[in-house]
Amino acid sequence: MEPLPPRFTTERQPVWRGLRLHAILYLTTAATTFAAGVAGWEPVVLGIDDDLAGQLGVHWQRGLLYMVAVMGVLTAHEAGHFVAAAVHRIPATLPFFIPVPVLLTGTLGAVIGMEGARASRRELFDIAIAGPIAGLVVILPVLAAGMIVGTATDASPFATPPVAGWMQSLLRPDLGAAQSIAPNPLFMAGWVGLLVTGLNMIPVSQLDGGHVSYALFGRRAHWIARGILLAAIAAIVVLGRYNWIAMVVIVAFMGTDHPPIRDDGRPLGLGRTLLGLVSLLIPIVTFMPEPLLFE
């Protein structure tokens, strides 16, 4: 979630203002994810690649199913945030979907903007945690369906996080230890959902995990965020994971520390605290340090 744009900062100005931009981004993301599915999750440029046009007549159903599934996954996540914000009467925007025509997945997810400075600790926590929970409620069944109908492969280019490995062991005991599921629309929609959820739940800046961490620990969350950012930079240098430089730069640009929120003096409470601590495990079980296994 991002800070709310200026035009949304007064109560009298409607949340629905600017629907045109939301609609354009949504439809464009639908188009890029459709193209990604048609192309079989290969790096192509929408509207330029000649082979993509040839594949359209053969694989349009694959593209359509992937588009519906992945847009459903992303919509569920952002709807969780939006509904929780509405319940707490914290002004928030509709989701801004992020289309990427040259990316294998066709999208980088979606974000909403909200006026977080008006939220209390409990409200911030509820809004932040609602997105990942709503997303996972859709992601896990979609991923499971993709595993059940998928075929085995010895050379998938897509790495799987721990939770996907556990699900595969349970749902597909017929697969060998070195085998995985070949990319298919449902599996890839779930894979994208896990990757986006894992990234969002890293407890830094104004990512969902950053909101949860700040609600749990207050200003002490700043030191957690700084430590994670420094550890990420060290890992990039030592392990040569230069593909994550852009992500670190984006987070640094957003600001490592979480901005202040409204203090109403109410503690987070035992239930929210336990849920928040458990939720900090989400990046560990859903995030892939090296998502692609291309040599």
Distance, CA of 182 to CA of 153 (rounded, Å) = 5
Give the global pTM. 0.86
* Separation in Å, CA 172 to CA 9, 148, 179, 211, 228: 50, 7, 10, 36, 35
From the list 216, 234, 150, the residue with the least C-alpha distance to 185 is 150
More confident residue, 218 or 254: 218
Report yes or no on 295 lying in a domain. Answer: no
Structural domain span for residue 92:
2-286
Is residue 285 within 8 A of residue 162, CB to CB? The reply is yes
Asked whether residue 279 carries a pLDDT value surpassing 70, the answer given is yes
Cα separation, 171 vs 160, in Å, equals 15
| Reduced DSSP (H G I as helix, E B as strand, rest coil) percent helix, strand, coil of the chain, to 5 | 60, 5, 35
Angle of the 185-200 helix axis to the 121-149 helix axis, nearest 10: 160
Question: What pLDDT is recorded for position 161?
Answer: 92
Query: DSSP secondary-structure letter at 177?
Result: T
Cα distance from N-terminal residue to C-terminal residue, the chain = 34
Handedness of CA 259, 276, 251, 194 (dihedral sign): negative
Domain-located, residue 198: yes
pLDDT value of position 277: 96
Q: What six digits make up the tokens of 221?
A: 């969350």
CA distance 90 to 235: 37
- Supply the pLDDT for residue 54: 61
- Position 293 in a domain: no
Structurally, the chain folds into a number of domains equal to 1
In a domain, 292, yes or no: no
Amino acid, res. 290: E
Angle at 158 between CA 153 and CA 163, to 5 degrees: 95
Query: 181 in helix, strand or coil?
Result: strand
The yes-or-no verdict on residue 280 having pLDDT over 80 is: yes
pLDDT, tens only, 136-179: 999 999 999 999 999 999 888 888 899 999 999 999 999 988 88
Residue 129 inside a domain? The answer is yes
Note the pLDDT of residue 287. 81
Please answer whether residues 228 and 202 qualify as being in contact, where contact means their C-beta atoms are separated by less than 8 angstroms. Answer: yes
pLDDT of residue 16 exceeding 60, the answer is no
pLDDT score, position 95: 93
- pLDDT recorded at residue 291: 76
Residue 254, CB half-sphere, CA atoms under 13 Å: how many? 21
Q: What average pLDDT does the segment 23-33 reach?
A: 95
Work out the mean pLDDT of the chain and round it to a whole number. 86
Q: CA neighbours within 13 Å on the CB side: how many for 197?
A: 35
Residue-wise pLDDT for 198-207, tens only, equals 999 999 988 9
Q: Would 69 be classed as within a structural domain?
A: yes
Opening angle at CA 113, ends 130 and 264, nearest 5: 65
pLDDT surpassing 50 at residue 6: no
Label residue 47 by pLDDT band (50, 70, 90).
Answer: very low
What does the alpha-carbon distance between residue 54 and residue 285 come to, in Å, rounded to a whole number? 38
